[in-house]
Amino acid sequence: MRLFNFIIPLLITCFLTLFPISPTWAQTELSPFDQGIEAYQKGEYETAVSALSQAITEEIEPEKAYYFRGISYLELGKLEKAIADQTNVIELNASNAGAYYDRALAETELGNYQEAITDYSQAIELKPKQERIYLNRGIAYAQQGKFESAIEDYNRAIELNENLADAYANRGVTRAAMGEKESAIADLEKAGKLYQEKGLEGLYQTVQKSIEKLE
């Protein structure tokens, strides 16, 4: 069973609150930075990249511009560019937890699990109560075959949010890989219930199929 099955792609929104988005433009004209933010919020990522690139050239809000261009690249699947932009953010502000987290997401997608773990760990130091960081570091550990470390991270994620379905799902998959059939099924059943309650029928069905394979 592949351990990566249960990563959910919307995780990059986790840290957007680090950058409050408020109008900084005159009522009649948007700056390139504000155009980029507006485009990002609409899901127009190519437009966001173009506008934010202009903002960077003009040195308008460089830390925020690199950050939002980086997560726009991440949405577009341009992972190397996403990593480069978040690296620029970190060079400007080494305390930006979101940049470490989003860089780690890109590293994970590239299969660079040790680099991802290093970044997730740094993000945890800065934001120790963000359950999604533990969840994703756990997935990276699991991909390395470090199952016990993965379980510890899933446990911590669940301590922080007992309704985090993704954590139960990934813990269940990891326990199955460890040969812990009964506890794996229990976790997957819990995840399935939470997915169903949230109306996530596709994920519910995926979990049910995993349970059937274990029974």
Per residue in 158-215, pLDDT (tens digit) is: 999 999 999 999 999 999 999 999 999 999 999 999 999 999 999 899 999 889 988 8
Which own/partner pairs from 147-151 qualify as long-range (CB within 8 Å, at least 24 positions apart)? 147/174, 147/177, 147/178, 150/174, 151/175
d(CA 137, CA 122) in angstroms, rounded, equals 11
| Least confident among 26-35, 83-92, 159-168 | 26-35
Position 61 in a domain: yes
- pLDDT grade for 30, boundaries at 50, 70 and 90: confident
**Cα–Cα–Cα angle for 7, 8, 14, nearest 5°?**
115
Query: pTM of this prediction?
Result: 0.87
Give me the amino acid identity at 135.
L
Position 72 in a domain: yes
Position 64 in a domain: yes
Range of the domain at 62: 1-20+32-128
- For the chain, the domain total comes to 1
In this model, does residue 102 exceed pLDDT 80? Answer: yes
In this model, does residue 126 exceed pLDDT 60? Answer: yes
CATH number of domain containing 110: 1.25.40.10
Contacting residues for 74 by C-beta, under 8 A, at least 6 apart:
12, 82, 102, 105, 106
Position 5 in a domain: yes
Position 121 in a domain: yes
Position 168 in a domain: no
d(CA 23, CA 183) in angstroms, rounded, equals 50
Position 9 in a domain: yes
Position 12 in a domain: yes
